[in-house]
Structure 1
């Protein structure tokens, strides 16, 4: 089912603008995020075709089926809890069935950890992105041969250096596995033999050759499998990031040279402030009154280490706040199960 199919089905019971525009933190280049809730048609819900979530490729638009939505609410997932208190002007559609889902039934002391833990994942993302920015990976992909080393007298050198040093032809090389020595091979060279070389094009491992017993190896070759695997993962992650990154955000991050993603750090403090407000006032304040302060973080007006220290102090404060809070320990699952049943049953009967 696509988003277009979902909208035609009449199954949506809630739809809202979310993200920066709901927080009041949007700028001229901000995207419009949409979140919603739907109830699967009866025949799909009772079949093997259950769908828990429908979203577009960038995840800017996402709709959650009632079961998944309420399950995430019961765990006090921050992104989902926000939908229970978005500003009225952000609500695009609300079916009467959605009014039965009340924040008072879900707000609990679980928020202390869910909001704080999510906040600290943003800190890691903030620093992690900088690693990509300051350590770019060359577009030309390295090969297996770039991770092969040869013992040359008392030292090991790159296979390619060994080949160049001896004016060898890679295609005339042959490998035979050395028993009892992991990732080590006898290296043979003979321009008159039909050897297979070191590795085939785009291969992820070395290739072996059939070598006559009369041949004498010229060296021992070691293939750094772990190093090659790590490189391949890093290469894929980097170029996937380049392909999908938000160019405006990327340019902003490299312009301030503070070695972190300022937008991630802004969300760290938004989440910590929200967690504090929930613990003190039993309220989910989506529209931010601390807009100026949060945008100053987004503008990279602070040092990364200072922000992390402040976040650590705020996280510790949450322990005291939630110890004194009148919030329930966790949502009542029996009540929630009845709620979901009644909402779904009434919706199907009306339909």
Structure 2
């Protein structure tokens, strides 16, 4: 099963819905129209090797889950799946009668506290990530291993680069040997100390990701003791890669909108944070998933950057405390009933295939 095959053969659809901001009642000018749905694999594929859990178009704004995968995620109270199952009727493009066998109320549980709050925290993480990227932009040119090396000097330490410049030395004429019992510690020597041969240099070149060792004649006195902050360099490389991937892939219009609002966080991520938290509270209070948001005005104020980041963080903390109390007294079961999910899956497959779909 592929996305294109499914779209060309709609008989395999069980559910087809408009989702995302339109279903949430949070769409604004320029919002994309997303779609989600459920399909059932042809029986021959189900019994064969070519099983498919989900399919999507290239931009991933249309995603369809195979009924088995859908019910599996439903028993884990996945927010996207619960939202899909509870799509408002005006946004349901097609719904097979067999979907009546899956009742939303049969699968809501206290697990929603973890799943919805977990998704909310992932949105906060993204918002904080943008906060950091805006306030601490990284240079285009990547720093070298040498920038993370320091030399003991005058009862303290200086950067290796500074030490080399002070002594009129070049790194490619130096040699290192490991210093026993000192993690990432090295003894440093220079070419001028040799009567024959040469040292390899501290690093092999600008793209090196570690220092390199040289053979040093026995008894040769070292010029300095050097430390390479390898852990710091690894963290830097990871952040450098993530930052420049973000610059390359970021939605420039959304980013410029954030800057124009004078904020240093992703307002859309924060809007979804509160949407998820409010939905989690409603599940505990009312035992239902309210996809179409009654708090649209408040959520759009967040999206429009009308709050400061620190104030939103305080509101998140208050909301989390409120939700925790709601779930502690909620009559919801601890977890969804797996047997109901399996019974529904077996009945749907049996009736669908018996109807002549192979």
Q: Output the CA distance in 1 between the equivalents of 2:336 and 2:219.
A: 76
TM-aligned CA deviation for residue 131 of structure 1: 0.6
Say how many residue pairs are matched: 351
Instruction: Indicate the residue corresponding to 2:4 in structure 1.
Output: 4
Q: 2:242 aligns with which of 237, 240, 251?
A: 237
Instruction: Indicate the residue corresponding to 1:95 in structure 2.
Output: 96
Q: Which 10-residue stretch deviates more, 29-38 or 18-27?
A: 29-38
TM-aligned CA deviation for residue 135 of structure 1: 0.7
Consecutive unaligned residues in structure 1, runs of 5 or more: none
Give 1:135-146 correspondences, 5 Å limit: 135-146=136-147
Q: Output the CA distance in 2 between the equivalents of 1:274 and 1:160.
A: 55
Q: 2:317 aligns with which of 299, 312, 326?
A: 312
Task: Tell me, yes or no, if the aligned pair for 1:174 and 1:196 is still in contact at 8 Å.
Answer: yes
Distance 1:213 1:348, change over 3 A: farther
Q: Output the CA distance in 2 between the equivalents of 1:224 and 1:116.
A: 37
Instruction: Indicate the residue corresponding to 1:114 in structure 2.
Output: 115
Instruction: Tell me the SS of whatever aligns to 1:82.
Output: helix
Instruction: Indicate the residue corresponding to 1:333 in structure 2.
Output: 338
TM-aligned CA deviation for residue 320 of structure 1: 4.6
Consecutive unaligned residues in structure 2, runs of 5 or more: none
Q: Output the CA distance in 1 between the equivalents of 2:73 and 2:302.
A: 29
Instruction: Tell me the SS of whatever aligns to 1:62.
Output: strand
Q: Output the CA distance in 2 between the equivalents of 1:4 and 1:166.
A: 67
Instruction: Indicate the residue corresponding to 1:198 in structure 2.
Output: 202
Q: Provide Cα deviations, 1:94-152, integer angstroms capped at 9, x if missing partner.
A: 33333322212212333334323433433333223201111111121112122111223
Say yes or no: does 1:270 pair with 2:275: yes
Q: Output the CA distance in 2 between the equivalents of 1:12 and 1:193.
A: 74
Distance 1:180 1:48, change over 3 A: farther
Instruction: Tell me the SS of whatever aligns to 1:156.
Output: strand
Q: Output the CA distance in 2 between the equivalents of 1:200 and 1:56.
A: 45
Task: Tell me, yes or no, if the aligned pair for 1:172 and 1:193 is still in contact at 8 Å.
Answer: no
Instruction: Indicate the residue corresponding to 2:159 in structure 1.
Output: 158
Distance 1:262 1:212, change over 3 A: same
Instruction: Indicate the residue corresponding to 1:176 in structure 2.
Output: 177
Task: Tell me, yes or no, if the aligned pair for 1:14 and 1:38 is still in contact at 8 Å.
Answer: yes
Say yes or no: does 1:298 pair with 2:303: yes
Q: Provide Cα deviations, 1:17-61, integer angstroms capped at 9, x if missing partner.
A: 211111111112222222222233444434454433333565433
Q: Output the CA distance in 1 between the equivalents of 2:68 and 2:243.
A: 35
Instruction: Indicate the residue corresponding to 1:344 in structure 2.
Output: 349
Instruction: Tell me the SS of whatever aligns to 1:343.
Output: helix
TM-aligned CA deviation for residue 82 of structure 1: 0.5
Q: What's the C-alpha RMSD, in Å, of the aligned pairs?
A: 2.5
Say yes or no: does 1:147 pair with 2:148: yes
TM-aligned CA deviation for residue 326 of structure 1: 4.6
Instruction: Tell me the SS of whatever aligns to 1:312.
Output: helix
Q: Output the CA distance in 2 between the equivalents of 1:135 and 1:168.
A: 33
Instruction: Indicate the residue corresponding to 2:218 in structure 1.
Output: 213
TM-aligned CA deviation for residue 226 of structure 1: 0.5
Distance 1:214 1:77, change over 3 A: same
Instruction: Tell me the SS of whatever aligns to 1:186.
Output: strand
Q: Which 10-residue stretch deviates more, 187-196 or 203-212?
A: 187-196
Q: Output the CA distance in 2 between the equivalents of 1:322 and 1:171.
A: 63
Distance 1:31 1:176, change over 3 A: same
